[in-house]
A and B are shown apart, each in its own frame.
Chain A
Amino acid sequence: MLEDVEREMLVELLLDAVAQHGRALLLDNMPRALRPNLQQEDDNRILLKRAIEICEEDRRRVDPPVIVTFIIGMRNYTPGSEHRLDQLARRLSVPPPAPSDPYMDLVIRSDIPFIDRNPLRSEVRRLLDPQTPRPILLVNGQRYSGKSFTSRFIDHLARSKALARYCPVEIYPGDTPTMEGIARSMLTTLGGAPAVVVDPMTNSKRGPRDLADDVWRQLTQKNEPCVIIIDGLNPRSANSPSPPQVNAEIADFVLRLGSLVRVNAHIHGHRLLLIDYNASDIAILSQDLRDIGLEEVTATEARTELERLFRGRGRGQDAAQLVDAVMDGLADPLVDLRALGTKCGQMLASL
């Protein structure tokens, strides 16, 4: 399955080809059985997104998966982007992990290891328990400590049916988020109208409250618990590598959303997960939140987990060698979990 970011990347890479060749190109690269599902659309972006969605949703479990054959077929029409599409197709070819206890899975996508992090797993399990007394979770930690893996872990849980739905907002470095943008993103994900209007005469206390209420209304349209995730607003701290992205309005908006989650936790079961967020901006809700700071992972811990991972893939005999190859050149403790993730993914793709 594609991640949201990958899906967006795929759309960007293929959009020009669709603009030039039209719906016929998409149909050509889809299995015959699925073609009737792709209706004509005026907007190429929507058409392409729908085609990808159809390929992803295919339940026939063919090998390689339909989405992979689709990407491979489309690559010939995207000169200059073949390398990236190949990488994506390769990743999607790795079979997903066998179903087990999704909270304990070591691989949370077909190639992304989620090693150690047992306290985080425990906190997320606690967060999602319908009887939890604390419906808000705050996850902080140093740069590249794997905080954002929490979002992927939630995504993994959703795919494993351990939770009904989630609504992620990820702010990337370079973006300049606004309260309206964050609300719009949530409304779009939740299936509402993305139009967000704040009355300019509304005072700056009322505006965030009204917008959070708009999001809440959309959230409660469906009678299914939802985890709202906001990732990347960056805490204000001296050692934070990125500038804080929170202004007073955003902070008030998040606080109001947190208050609604808190007050209605036992009715709707919605949860709020804040990743990389200033603890004091939400301190007022402390009685209803738990926070966790991610510590660095030692090489010993990583090795133990990787060995388990490779054993689980039928490589009991040579797991140690595979681990050596992955860990080669990595620091101890691991300061950048992305590097470990990349190498581990490559090893899984090589098995």
Chain B
Amino acid sequence: MTDPDRPIEDVLARFQELLAHSEAPAAPDDDTRNARLAFLRAASVLHLFSLVDLRPDDGRWPSGSAARYLLDDTVPAVGWGAEGLRTLGIEARREGLAMLGSRSAIGKALKANPNRQRTDVQSMLERWAGGETLRPAAMSVAELRAAATLCEWGLPDFLPRQIVDEFSRRRSAVSNFEVLAEGFVGRTTELEQLRKFVGLTPSSFIDRARDFVFGRTVTPLVLFGVGGAGKTALVARFILDFFSNSSAGCFPFMYLAFDDETLDPAEPATIIGAAVRQIELQSGEIEAGDADYQGALLRMTDQLGIYFSTRQRLSGSAVSARSQRERIHELLLLDEKLFVTFARFLDQWSKLAGGRIGVERLPILFVLDTFEEVEFLPDTDLERFWELVDVLRQVPEMRLLIVGRSMPNSAYLAGRVQQLALGDLNRADALELLQRLGVDQASAAYVADHFGTNPLTLRLAARLLRESDGISEIQGVRSQHDGRLQLGAEVIRGQLYRRVLDHIHDPRIRALAHPGMVLRRVTAAIIQEVLAPHCGFGWIDAAESEQLFASLAREHSLVRRDEYGALLYREEVRRPMLALLAADRPDLTRELHRAAARFYAVGSDEASAGEEIYHRLMLGDLEHRVLQRRWTNSIGQRLAAAAEELPPESRAWLASRTRLRLSDAERELAGAAERERIVGHEAVRAFRIGDFESALNMLRNVNPAPDSPLAALHARALLALGQPDLASAVLNEYLATFPPLASSPRLAELLWLAAQSCAQRGDRAEAARWLEQLVPIAKSLPSRLPLLQTLTEQLAILEPGTAGPSRQALAGLLMELDPSETYREAALIRLAMARLGPSPAGPWTRFGPDLAYELLSAVPSWTKEQLAEARAGLASALETASSPQLEGAITLLDPESSDEDTAKKIATTISMAAAEFSHSRLSDDVVDPAAIQALWTIFKAERATLAAATLAGIGQGEENWLRSGSSFEALA
């Protein structure tokens, strides 16, 4: 027990006693030592073990007592806590194995514990101990990982680590392709074309990689073909063919598919981030040992970090930029620097790979798959992406392979790419595929002749043949198509799938799939309330619906689970079925859509909202009030994949909420509100890429209403183009005609921009008048940030003699501000406090430390002038410090330091000043005024302004469509 009156001598004596005890625990006696060793030898040959079950390798110590001797040598094994399994720490493992010494001794030691946990590592150890010759070339990824673990253990005469790592690296890089290329046949011409594209001569493919035909700059290749043609399988086969030839040098490659939700083509940094991650994971010892490569990698990862942190800063209202144009210019420079760093990194990678086989560089293959997802986006979204492609094309030996369903319809690519169209298989290859899939020769010939040679169709036909008694069933499908052989592959597949479904034994599961596939998502409740009544089951209870749900879940070829446990029909099955259902049973299809929409209308979660919107859109029910109420930006992601299913009017509606490309005809179908939103998206994207002229043209053409978000964008485009007079004129007009009952946030934004345009014209008095009008509007908004920003700007615009009330109001506002608002707009709050000054102390005590800590990461990127200002200001502030720690901090501020040192020391000083607030808070003391002065100095040195800002905090009260996507800097 703590006793505050215990004499200090007693406390120190007790402390010394405990210290001595922990530093020099009693030396174990011989028995204890020997017991530990006996358990250690036994444990060292077990990957995982339970201490209570562990038997020593001799019988002198009872099993069950291992914990007493071995606990400190073990660590819990992740994932095996429930079973109480542990593993040995690496030093103990090596000690134990070293005692055993030989492969045969290790084999013998295994016998002490026959009930071993079967893990990959354990199996690999036992195969080796049993005398098997291990061949890394024949190992799976999991086996290679197990082998790498055994290398760590230091087994005698085990495989060399370098070899295991090299195979592991190669195998990991391509393991994903093994599934994708399964059953691949033919395509010899296309494979040859790919080889030529990469620069492999036929002989080099077989023999050595040094015969690459180097091309320096090679035009990107677009590989395109309809769904199911086998595009990804072709790429996978090509890469596997090369990598399976272990004597060849590996050409480096990256493979990204745009159906990955983390990739956003509009923001190429996401592509670069994913590519770098892939390269890092492929890196082995050679990369680790190459200083140039490591340097390039470090620059690359540093640049990525700087990129994202700078973007976070640029997304705030208060920044150092003096105009929107300047803010976006900084962003574009950041993009460019990132692209160039990435290009240089790739070049270094290419050189390193070349060095391995004695050539200057090896080609780098960069595959961008599922490009049709990119094609959904409008051109303004893709400008940065094509900019990245342009930079990558300058990388010597870069081979960019774009894979999609059709030739991209981009002006950028016109005349700048090679094309490789992937059609159906030739007849011979089709027959081979069918035969590999177990179809006899005659049936194969029949299928190829009657259903075409699309690989996906062939696989489906083969499956149907396997599941039926003969060819008669498949002939039945054919007979429905007599004279209609021109039908699309998708319809044929739909027919085939329908037949496949007929083979589901339980008729009710069959019905859940057909016509139930009108729905995208199934739960037990949906079965009970939506599907059962429409699929002819009548009323069923909850238990029965649960049972049906569980049965459907077992049909893995039809469904997969989503993150909430619901079943999603697989797209490749559902898409063709849906087309058929809509054509064959239109009434039932519509009724199911209606029932599903009704079902989801009462759900409050996002999945329900998304599905309700989906079913309404499928019905063409564009009831704006309902759709708008249910919409959130993340629903856009849920619905993007369904865009192709929607009728044109619904597509136009969806496009107005997301970033979907529309044809001119579809655009015509959009209502006025939708068209306005579509223009809004494109204008914001034009802002993001610095194309303010285009933005202005788009906005002028729609002639925005005063209470439309486009009105503010219109004025901002003019301000960004350096036309404050024109901006003032249009804003005056918008404000003069602003409807009295329209949205307050819209009005607030226009007033703010009116003040900004006057300030840019040098008319401070007029700017002050607009701000004065803004104050009561800002007060009425739900967030405190608009008012805070207005008052902050008043302190800069008003003459010091007249700013008193604003100052007082700002100080009061800071005391009632919700801390969470500081997380979104930290720089704005710092600017407010910088303009407010060090008095009163209240806001500093409340927010000073957290805002200062938030600033620490930005200090290293400050300019020389900022650092000098901060250093001098801090030195001056700390001269009056009364707290000993702050007094000491002044010694850190040596004027002779380098910029890097200065930044580091300034950051330390900021931390110390901020810590002073915590100390005083805990001890109920008054904060040392020097600490407030120090933070004030630093906040001023940040040099933020609001000259490039729109009004913060108005997003909560407005439609959220404008904030979709990631163009935060354009909106800030």
The CA-CA distance from A15 to B83 in the complex, in Å, is 13
Interface size for A (C-beta < 8 A) is 112
CB contact under 8 A between A177 and B78, given known A12-B67, A122-B854: yes
B149 at the interface (CB under 8 A from A): yes
* A118-B849, A280-B276 as given contacts; A172 in contact with B84, CB under 8 Å: no
**Complex interface: chain B residues within 8 A of A126 (CB):** 823, 850
Contacting residues of chain B (294-334) with chain A, CB-CB under 8 angstroms:
294, 301, 304-305, 307-309, 311-312
Interchain pairs with CB closer than 8 A, number: 269
Shortest Cβ distance from B88 into A: residue: A174
User: Whole-angstrom distance between the alpha carbons of A351 and B571 in the complex?
Assistant: 67
Q: Known contacts A118-B915, A347-B15: does B281 contact A247 (CB below 8 Å)?
A: yes
Contact partners of B11 in chain A: CB under 8 A: 318, 322, 347, 350-351
Chain A's closest residue to B301 (CB) is A280
- Distance from B29 Cβ to chain A, minimum over Cβ atoms (Å): 10
- Determine if B121 is an interface residue (Cβ-Cβ < 8 Å): yes
Q: Chain A's nearest CB lies how many Å from the CB of B123?
A: 14
For B13, give the chain A residue with the smallest CB separation.
Answer: A350
A interface, over-half SS: helix
| Binding-face segment, B172-180, B664-672, B837-845 | B172-180
Interface assignment of A81: CB less than 8 Å from any CB of chain B: yes
Does B79 lie at the interface of the complex (its beta carbon under 8 Å from any beta carbon of A)?
Answer: yes
Q: Least Cβ distance of B432 to chain A in Å?
A: 22
Identify the stretch in A34-42, A51-59, A156-164, A284-292 within 8 Å (CB) of chain B at 4 or more residues: A284-292
Contact of B885 with A by CB under 8 A: yes
Kindly identify which residue among B19, B634, B853 contacts A122, using a CB–CB cutoff of 8 Å: B853
Picked from A220, A300, A321, the residue with its CB within 8 Å of the CB of B564 is: A220
Which residues in A have their C-beta under 8 angstroms from that of B47?
Answer: 176
Q: Taking the complex as formed, is A76 at the interface, i.e. its CB lies under 8 A from any CB of chain B?
A: no
Residues of A within 8 Å of B737, CB to CB, are none
Q: CA A347 – CA B11 in complex, angstroms?
A: 8
Residues in B neighbouring A95, C-beta threshold 8 A: 1-2
Chain A's nearest CB lies how many Å from the CB of B502? 24
Picked from B1, B65, B89, B305, the residue with its CB within 8 Å of the CB of A279 is B305
List which B880-935 residues lie within 8 A (CB) of chain A.
885, 888, 908, 911-912, 914-915, 918-919, 921-923
Query: Chain A residues with Cβ under 8 A from B77's Cβ?
Result: 175, 181
Q: What 1/0 flags go to A59-88 for Cβ under 8 Å of B?
A: 000010000000000000011110110000
Q: Decide: B145 and A247 in contact? CB cutoff 8 A.
A: yes
Complex CA gap A193/B261 in Å reads 28
Q: Is A201 an interface residue (CB 8 A)?
A: yes
Q: Is the CB of B80 within 8 A of A181?
A: yes
Which residues, 304 to 340 on A, are CB-close (under 8 Å) to B? 304, 308, 312-315, 318, 321-322, 325
Given A180-B79, A188-B81, A281-B277: A16 in contact with B65 (beta carbons within 8 A): yes
B99 within 8 A of A: no
Closest to B822 in A: A126
Contact indicator B918/A175 (Cβ below 8 Å):
no
The answer to whether B19 and A343 touch across the interface, beta carbons within 8 angstroms, is yes
- Of the listed stretches B68-76, B408-416, B584-592, B868-876, chain A binds B68-76
**How distant is B434 from chain A, measured CB to nearest CB, in Å?**
21
Taking a contact as CB atoms under 8 Å apart, the answer to whether B849 and A315 are in contact is no
Q: Which residue of B8, B88, B606 contacts A318 across the interface (Cβ within 8 Å)? A: B8
Interface string of A111-145 (1 = CB under 8 A from B): 00000101100110110011111100000000000
Neighbouring B residues of A351 by C-beta, 8 Å: 2-4, 6, 11
Q: Does B466 contact A (CB under 8 A)?
A: no
Choose among B19, B26, B312 the residue that contacts A287 (Cβ–Cβ < 8 A): B312
Minimum distance in angstroms from B789 CB to a CB of chain A:
17
Assess whether B114 is interfacial by the CB under 8 Å rule: no
- Chain A residue at minimum C-beta to C-beta distance from B819: A129
Identity of the chain B residue whose Cβ is nearest the Cβ of A348 in the assembled complex:
B2
Tell me which residues across on chain B come within 8 A of A182, comparing CB atoms.
78-79
Among candidates A80, A123, A216, A342, residue contacting B68 with C-beta atoms closer than 8 Å? A80
Instruction: Tell me the bound Cα distance from A259 to B84 in angstroms.
Output: 31
How many angstroms between the C-alpha atoms of A318 and B15 in the bound complex?
A: 14
Bitwise, A7-48 to B at CB < 8 A (1) or not (0) is 011011101100110000000000000000000000011000
Residues from chain A with a CB closer than 8 A to the CB of B1 are 63, 93, 95
Partner of A243, one of B64, B152, B301: B152
Whose C-beta in chain A lies nearest to the C-beta of B15? A350
A/B interface sample: 9 pairs, CB < 8 A: A20-B64, A44-B52, A80-B69, A131-B818, A172-B76, A176-B152, A260-B563, A286-B312, A349-B18
Which 6 residue pairs across A and B have the least CB separation, nearest first? A181-B79, A314-B4, A286-B308, A131-B820, A172-B75, A184-B79
Q: Identify 18 new A-B residue pairs, CB closer than 8 A, beyond the known A175-B77, A348-B2.
A: A15-B51, A16-B68, A95-B2, A104-B922, A119-B853, A129-B820, A174-B75, A175-B76, A178-B78, A194-B79, A194-B82, A205-B260, A213-B561, A281-B277, A284-B262, A286-B273, A291-B305, A300-B885
